[in-house]
Structure 1
Amino acid sequence: MTNPIKHTLLASLLGLSSLNLMADEQKHILMVLSSYGETDAQGELIKPGYEFDEMSKSYLVFKAAGAKVTFASPKGGKVLADKYNKAKQYNAKFLDDKSAVAQLENTQKLATLNHQDFDAVYVVGGKGPMFDLATDNSVKQIIKQVYENDGVIGAVCHGPAALLDVKLSSGEYLLAGKRVSGFTNLEESAFTKKWQMPFSLADKLSEQGALYQQDSLMFNQVSFDGNLLTGQNPFSTTDTAIAVAKKLGLTLEKSIEFKDDRTIKLAEQFVADKTAALATYNASKQDYDSMLLAMLGVYLGKHAQSQMEREAALTLLKVTSSDVNHPAIELAIAKTLLADNDFNTAKNHLSAAQKKFPENPEIATLLTDVQSL
């Protein structure tokens, strides 16, 4: 006859063992943030920090995948982010997570951590990493140790600066012969105005043997090379984090995609198949950020390095001009046409733009200049 007490005790022990096994199987991701950010007495940022958007997007992906996340930085404690919008979908959701916010307010000090506790290291971007993580020995040591223990290494935007000078036990650079992405020289030229960067990230990655991969300005680019996964810019963040989660064997019950990421992917579709992209956009404009599409068109037009990029810029600008209705869009269309030596079309466009925005001096001046050609 079965002893009921013994049976209950055994079941309890088995249940406890099962729970412990599940806890042991939970993947642990070390999310590294820059400690460089600093403010003055008025609260203005005088040294750049980490990118809050990249942190929140990545954290939400890892949490949805069931991973444990620990925030760490070179100095530990509170770290400062660059300016960000708290109302953005992903930032608001992160800020509602009181446990995550509390942990972020008191990051772990990198030098105190044991690499054996982590299955992955993920480095968040922002300008700050270029100043501290690029030379911090603690982050390089834990990246080396986790990587050589078959762990996963991820980094996005300027985060790959932390991968510089990481030497494996073989004496080779971690980057040597690896496909790697990071903030491009063109993106640096277009968007890094306030801060003087200490070096070119793209050039340094290449100097250490990385097979540097890049897409067009602010397009989504994620590079995969074994257990090393890197993203080009802020709009590569979500897919980089998803790639890290999948590499760890984690699954997401539903797709995670934010409006700005979806918008960038639509912009890429305009390059590949304009007709299909236009149909998608017109059918569900509410799912996309028209202003972001327009601004991407402005920057693509200004910094285009090929005919294809100029055509893509014109397409984005024309598609969004009626939705955004701003003189900067009309000027960008005209300037892109002029860069393509299409003077007549540019003149006609400026004439129409002047009627639309009669008080805008830049449109009037450019029209006068074009008419004199």
Structure 2
Amino acid sequence: MRALVVCTGVEVFPGKGTRTGIWLGELIHFFDVLTEKRIPVDITKPGGGVVPVDPKSQDSKDEIVKRYIGNEAFMDALNRVPALESIDPEPYGVVYLVGGHGAIWDLPGNEPLQKFIEAVYQANGTITAVGHGVAGLLNVRNADGSWFVKDRYLTGFSNMEEKLVSFVSEEVPFYVEDKLIEKGAHFTKTVIPFTEHIEMDERLITGQNPNSARKVAQKLIEELWEK
């Protein structure tokens, strides 16, 4: 069983030019927990190539994040990831959608990603996502054509958290919380923004924000070990 980590390929805010990409800690904490358990993890993005990293996410006091930033082989691998479109879902039992603002532009409308998620889930796999990465679930459909998120309990980057990030709140095309609710999801969140919160609904595990990424991975491991 392998895990596929899906990253955004968007490196700047359209119309603004400010750099964005993945939030590095959301990738690192998930990767760290799974590799500690010797679960093979592959990283991809639409189109392949370089994974863009939000510069703000590299200025971290998190010791685990700093350790990976100092790992030349790990960081170099992010410069040449395979294209999502070229990957066969068959070996994968887990999909993880990394957050960071870039994800809200290219993940929701990506048909290969939608088909990949459906294939893994239908094969009894687990779908995980955190922060803005949860937006990648918005247009996924079940085998019967219904929305994947409809009637499911999940979380993601909240409206309040988006508003508190004032430098981008007016630049985003939509708020993740609003769109999920529009699609019929039961959205949950913490009272205090940017604190750890995860939600689980059958084989769907989501985290609200960067501080929730490690908990998503730990919950995934807990579920895999119980099966």
Matches within 5 A, 1:111-122: 111-122=85-96
Deviation at 1:219, TM superposition (A): 1.8
Matches within 5 A, 1:192-271: 192-194=166-168, 196-216=171-191, 217-249=193-225
Once residues 45 and 238 of structure 1 are traced to their aligned partners in structure 2, the CA distance between those partners, rounded to angstroms, is: 30
The CA RMSD over aligned residues, in Å, is 1.9
1:126 and 2:100 correspond: yes
Structure 2 portions without partners, runs of 5+: none
Once residues 190 and 46 of structure 1 are traced to their aligned partners in structure 2, the CA distance between those partners, rounded to angstroms, is: 17
Alignment equivalent of 2:45, drawn from 64, 68, 73: 73
Give the helix-richer structure, 1 or 2.
1
TM-score (normalised: structure 1): 0.56
Preserved CA contact (<8 Å) 2:138 2:183: yes
Preserved CA contact (<8 Å) 1:45 1:82: no
Matches within 5 A, 1:37-76: 37-38=11-12, 46-76=18-48
Once residues 244 and 93 of structure 1 are traced to their aligned partners in structure 2, the CA distance between those partners, rounded to angstroms, is: 23
Deviation at 1:95, TM superposition (A): 3.1
* Letter in structure 2 aligned against 1:52: L
User: CA-to-partner distance for each residue in 1:143-186, whole Å, 9 max, x for gaps?
Assistant: 11101111010000111000011011111111011101001101
**Greater relative contact order (Cα < 8 A, sep 6+):** 2
Structure 1 portions without partners, runs of 5+: 1-26, 251-373
TM-score (normalised: structure 2): 0.90
Once residues 218 and 47 of structure 1 are traced to their aligned partners in structure 2, the CA distance between those partners, rounded to angstroms, is: 21
Once residues 85 and 166 of structure 2 are traced to their aligned partners in structure 1, the CA distance between those partners, rounded to angstroms, is: 30
Deviation at 1:213, TM superposition (A): 0.7
Once residues 66 and 116 of structure 1 are traced to their aligned partners in structure 2, the CA distance between those partners, rounded to angstroms, is: 19
SS of alignment partner, residue 111 of structure 1 = helix
Preserved CA contact (<8 Å) 1:152 1:248: no
Once residues 210 and 163 of structure 1 are traced to their aligned partners in structure 2, the CA distance between those partners, rounded to angstroms, is: 11
SS of alignment partner, residue 249 of structure 1 = helix
Q: Label 1:85 to 1:29 Cα distance change in 2 as closer, same or farther (>3 A).
A: same
Larger mean Cα displacement after TM superposition, 89-98 or 57-66: 89-98
User: CA-to-partner distance for each residue in 1:28-54, whole Å, 9 max, x for gaps?
Assistant: 110011000149xxxx96342110111
Q: Label 1:184 to 1:38 Cα distance change in 2 as closer, same or farther (>3 A).
A: closer
Q: What is the aligned residue count?
A: 220
* Letter in structure 2 aligned against 1:80: P
Matches within 5 A, 1:1-373: 27-38=1-12, 46-83=18-55, 84-85=58-59, 88-194=62-168, 196-216=171-191, 217-249=193-225
- Which structure's CA Rg is the greater one? 1
Deviation at 1:234, TM superposition (A): 0.9
Once residues 172 and 116 of structure 2 are traced to their aligned partners in structure 1, the CA distance between those partners, rounded to angstroms, is: 25
Deviation at 1:138, TM superposition (A): 1.5
Once residues 71 and 34 of structure 2 are traced to their aligned partners in structure 1, the CA distance between those partners, rounded to angstroms, is: 14
Once residues 110 and 184 of structure 1 are traced to their aligned partners in structure 2, the CA distance between those partners, rounded to angstroms, is: 27
Aligned to 1:256: none
Preserved CA contact (<8 Å) 2:12 2:102: no
* Letter in structure 1 aligned against 2:225: G
Preserved CA contact (<8 Å) 2:198 2:208: yes
Q: Label 1:144 to 1:192 Cα distance change in 2 as closer, same or farther (>3 A).
A: farther
